[in-house]
Amino acid sequence: MSSTTDKIKGYANDAAGNVKQGVGKLVGSEKLQAEGAAQEIKGETQVAVGKTKDAIKDVANKTADKINKI
């Protein structure tokens, strides 16, 4: 997956997890709250992976630019 795809899916999971937690609280379902919390963590992790991929790509590009200048 590309970094953008990772981040988009991550933000979607984060939002869906927040909604699940809210609904779980409204209906008194601890199970739904826990599922929402887990999905939120999954989303946050996906976003972090996407940002890490971006950072690695930036370093690789800067390194390549420096090598090409030699």
What are the per-10-residue average pLDDT scores of the chain (70 residues)? Answer: 93 97 97 97 97 95 90
- C-alpha to C-alpha distances, 65 to 18, 22, 41, 56, 59, nearest whole angstrom: 42, 48, 36, 14, 10
Written as six digits, the tokens of 23 are 């609904």
Number of structural domains found in the chain: 1
Contact 17, 37 (CB under 8 A): yes
pLDDT of residue 70: 81
What pLDDT shows up at residue 57?
A: 94
User: Does this model's pTM top 0.75?
Assistant: yes
Range of the domain at 37: 3-69
H helices within the chain, ranges in order?
3-27, 30-69
- Helix-helix angle 30-69:3-27, to 10 degrees: 160
